[in-house]
Structure 1
Amino acid sequence: MKELLSFLQTRCQGDLLPWQAQAEAARVFGVSPARIEAIALENSLLPARYQRNRTIISCQDQLRLFSSRVAVIGCGGLGGYVLEELARLGVGELVAVDPDVFEEHNLNRQLLSSPASLGMKKTAAALERVSLINPAVTLVSAGVAFGRENGSELLRDCTLAVDCLDSIEARMELGMVCNDLGIPLVHGAIAGWFGHVATQFPGEKTLECIYCRHSGGKGVEKQLGNPSFTPAVVASLEVAEVCKVLLGKGSALRGRILSVDLLEMDFVETTL
């Protein structure tokens, strides 16, 4: 440990640790990039990739993000962007849950999709993408449908969950499982030009309140579809909520919902 830390310290530029030094240390000492990142952050060495975070996210905050385990339920329109941004943010462990493969109608909006990935499991694409953009982040791939019966196992040891589903019934089950486990849930939904975001804390019934009039089916997304930009906007709002909740910063969307109308460029907050 002392030898490894000394190796990192001698290769720092100030308190910034370049990626090349992290990769070299992983090879020389035979440990994972994740282990190198943990040792660096625990000793106030900031991986250089995060240097543009530092005015709002301290090195200790970065360690807290790295020590978190976040589940992303659904790896499609919302989930692909959420996984990308969480990995770039430096959340150390991600659990990606989705049973589906990419189809051609996904190509207009799903970040993880491409013509070459048609027929590929979405969770497999998520694993490839996260490994490419931030090798220090660990992604656990679960290519299954989320439900009440397997939810506790899928969310085991998670700090927080992110709802990127397209089924209201599955969302309701996710909300119940998160309450059973006592973890926060960041919820997002999209349809056409529109979307909304809210955060449920343990013991709250946010999802039940939002969908109290739901009578079945997938909701308006099936009718309105989704362009390329709506999932990117709403996913980014979800990731901002995740960051705030994990770090205990700012004011989360607790007991309120933020509705987004990109056609009229209106953002409206409503108390639940």
Structure 2
Amino acid sequence: MELYDFITAAAPAGLFPWTAQVEAAERFGLTLGRVEEAALEQGIMPARYQRNRQTITVGNQLRLCRSCAVIIGSGGLGGYLIEELARLGVGNLVVVDPDIFEEHNLNRQILSSPAFLGHPKVEVAAARVGEINPAVTVTPLQLSFSRENGQGILAGSDVVMDGLDSIATRIELAECCRGLSIPLVHGAIGGWYGQVASQLPGDDIVPSLFGNWSEPKGVESQLGNPSFTPAVVASLQVAEACKILLGEGESLRHRMIYVNLLHMEFDEVLLEPPLAAVGE
């Protein structure tokens, strides 16, 4: 029996069960991701994504399956970004972070636990994705992002997610994305507050947000970070990434959402497009 015949026979209601996906991978010597892609190519939705169907078509689920997202930072924001992108079905994730989990991470970083103290964040992230969606391929890179290695890390990706806490590195990331014409979804948090914006090819928005900031870290070093702020901001970032990958909806291009959870306010801030983007 050919792979496509197997998938069709296993999905009479148009949903491909996980147990059948695992069996197909073993029988035909394929990765779980390739089997998932084959099902979607036939217009059959893997059953794990059935609650996506009213929001995301089978064709768009296939686009997500074939997409690659790079997450820079796998801490407060990054952990939620990784979790949600994997559950959404983005097929390839590259996770970049040089750090290990420490005790001060436990209050907010979803991938952290006492059992993982001292473990590299990227290795824990890869293991977590393997638990929740083994069809997703994860490339863990335990290193610091920089202008020097940025092109090699980002090349071939479809969207980049900002989970950083260093202003200087964030600006270098934005510059690399601009040079490679890769969309960047920016997120930052501090205390009750956060912000989200998208820098699309041709734009230079993110550096302008921090042009007058002289400290190496953002306001989180002064305001702290409770558990809920990274969850909210990361979810907004993933929604932005999903729209960008699928070419749907209206992105936050030249706009920023400022989140004030203390007073439960979400404000839109218009960002002046830089000269390089005018007329595009």
TM-score by length of 2: 0.96
Which ranges of 4 or more aligned residues in structure 1 deviate by more than 6 Å? Answer: none
Report the alpha carbon displacement of residue 219 of structure 1 after superposing the two structures with TM.
2.2
Give 1:10-159 correspondences, 5 Å limit. Answer: 10-159=9-158
Residue 180 of structure 1 corresponds to: 179
Report the alpha carbon displacement of residue 216 of structure 1 after superposing the two structures with TM.
2.9
Return the alpha-carbon distance in structure 1 between the equivalents of residues 163 and 30 of structure 2.
33
Return the alpha-carbon distance in structure 2 between the equivalents of residues 204 and 244 of structure 1.
17
Report the alpha carbon displacement of residue 56 of structure 1 after superposing the two structures with TM.
1.3
Residue 6 of structure 2 corresponds to: 7
Residue 275 of structure 2 corresponds to: none
Return the alpha-carbon distance in structure 1 between the equivalents of residues 116 and 58 of structure 2.
37
Letter of the 1:115 partner, please give it: P
Q: Give the match's secondary structure for 2:118.
A: coil
Deviation sequence 1:29-86 (CA, Å, 0-9, x none): 1111011011111111100111111111000000001110100000000000000000
Return the alpha-carbon distance in structure 2 between the equivalents of residues 219 and 126 of structure 1.
24
Letter of the 2:21 partner, please give it: Q
Letter of the 2:37 partner, please give it: A
Is the 8 Å Cα contact of residues 131 and 137 (structure 1) preserved in structure 2? yes
1:198 aligns with 2:197: yes
Return the alpha-carbon distance in structure 2 between the equivalents of residues 14 and 242 of structure 1.
30
Report the alpha carbon displacement of residue 205 of structure 1 after superposing the two structures with TM.
1.1
Deviation sequence 1:8-41 (CA, Å, 0-9, x none): 1111141100101001111111111011011111
Q: Give the match's secondary structure for 2:160.
A: strand
Deviation sequence 1:68-108 (CA, Å, 0-9, x none): 01000000000000000000000000000000000000000
Residue 221 of structure 2 corresponds to: 222
5+ unaligned residues in a row in structure 1: which ranges? none
Is the 8 Å Cα contact of residues 73 and 163 (structure 1) preserved in structure 2? yes
Letter of the 1:183 partner, please give it: I
Return the alpha-carbon distance in structure 2 between the equivalents of residues 35 and 219 of structure 1.
40
Q: Give the count of matched residue pairs.
A: 271
Return the alpha-carbon distance in structure 1 between the equivalents of residues 50 and 111 of structure 2.
26
Return the alpha-carbon distance in structure 1 between the equivalents of residues 59 and 19 of structure 2.
22
29-38 vs 167-176, which deviates more? 29-38
Give 1:183-262 correspondences, 5 Å limit. Answer: 183-262=182-261
Deviation sequence 1:166-223 (CA, Å, 0-9, x none): 0010000000000111110000000000000000011211112211211132021101
Residue 168 of structure 2 corresponds to: 169
Letter of the 2:93 partner, please give it: L
Is the 8 Å Cα contact of residues 169 and 216 (structure 1) preserved in structure 2? no
Return the alpha-carbon distance in structure 2 between the equivalents of residues 179 and 217 of structure 1.
22
TM-score by length of 1: 0.98
Deviation sequence 1:129-152 (CA, Å, 0-9, x none): 001100100000100000000000
Percent identity, aligned pairs only, is: 56
Return the alpha-carbon distance in structure 1 between the equivalents of residues 185 and 72 of structure 2.
10
Residue 159 of structure 2 corresponds to: 160
Q: Give the match's secondary structure for 2:178.
A: helix
Letter of the 1:199 partner, please give it: S
Report the alpha carbon displacement of residue 263 of structure 1 after superposing the two structures with TM.
0.4
Return the alpha-carbon distance in structure 1 between the equivalents of residues 77 and 219 of structure 2.
16
Return the alpha-carbon distance in structure 1 between the equivalents of residues 47 and 144 of structure 2.
37
Return the alpha-carbon distance in structure 1 between the equivalents of residues 26 and 159 of structure 2.
32
Residue 276 of structure 2 corresponds to: none
